[in-house]
A and B are shown apart, each in its own frame.
Chain A
Amino acid sequence: MTEHVDSVKTYVLVFAALIFLTVATTAVAFVDLGPFSVVMALAIAVCKMLLVALFFMHVRHSTRLTRLVVLGGLLWLAILLLLTMGDMMSRGWVGVPGR
């Protein structure tokens, strides 16, 4: 088998970045950024997810078909979350008689 073997150094660096981001997200949670607190927390979480998926789960070495499946899954999750969010936020825009 010709598999790509990453160095221990790569993994340790990714791990250090993950720990740093965990400390950063905890510290920044105590700062009042208004509505951007949620944005900040989720942005850091997405960065951590990408680090784990690309390096630890070897997505960066995987086949194009596997990458397509991963992206497809995230697309369906986005549809689930975004369309529901859009529905909830736009409910009050149009008055419905009898309600």
Chain B
Amino acid sequence: MASEAHAPAESLALREQFETEAQQKDASTLGMWIFLITEVMFFGGLFLAYMVYRRLYPDIFAIASSSLNVYIGAANTVVLLCSSLTMVLAVRAAQLGRTRAIVLFLVLTLLLGGVFLGVKAYEWNEKFVEHHIPGPSFHFEGLGPDQQGHAQLFFSLYFAMTGLHALHMVIGAGLLAMLIWQARRGRFTAEYMTPVDLIGLYWHFVDIIWIFLFPLLYLIDRHLKQP
């Protein structure tokens, strides 16, 4: 068949099943968003559990929530927002095809993600020292024996939610490391930077989850505690 000679060579930016590069890019973006929506529902279940138990035991949840260090939480939020800025600048560098800038901003994002996880580990260690880890040795000062269980519920949800968030950060860090390796080898150009774009979406999504975790876990009952 003569038409074979006219068929354009397949490239990363245009696989043979797509009509145009724009169509392929839109399909990739849509697929990533559908994955992120499933993640929203995944975290949504935990947010729902938190909402239900906070309503059942509002006083204990307020006391337990106020034991978290709000300044560390706020500082970590700033760190994560900085990493989102460097991530979006990496995506911008990729759109413009600037390989060295992509690598620089991805490395910065990875470092900031590492700082966030380090601070989180410090906070978890604090909980361990204070016996605030749910389990046989759990003890929350100032609460009666019948209230310890409700405080354990708060900390169970705290560890489930921040733990699942941290797991997403670890996966994100792995993906960033892969991107840095690929970017250094010159895989991304202004024509083809889909992986940078999609992992950027993932990173910002994990940021949004923290944007909600921070006020719900650290802030909303802060005013109830008398100094």
Contact = CB atoms under 8 A, between A and B. Distances in A.
A20 to B, nearest CB: 11
B120 interface: no
Nearest to A55: B88
A22 B29 CA distance: 29
Contacts of A30: 222-223
Interface in B32-54: 33-34, 36-37, 40-41, 44-45, 47-48, 51-52
Interface in A69-86: 69-70, 72-74, 76-77, 80-81, 84-85
A96 interface: no
Given A48-B211, A73-B41, A12 B85 contact: yes
Interface of A is mostly: helix
B26 interface: yes
Interface residues of B, number: 54
B207 A52 contact: yes
B41 A41 contact: no
Nearest to A32: B223
Contacts of B44: 77, 80-81
Given A29-B222, A30-B223, A57 B78 contact: no
22 contacts: A1-B190, A11-B89, A18-B81, A22-B81, A25-B215, A29-B218, A29-B223, A37-B221, A44-B215, A45-B214, A53-B204, A56-B84, A56-B87, A63-B30, A66-B30, A69-B30, A69-B33, A72-B37, A73-B36, A77-B40, A80-B48, A81-B44
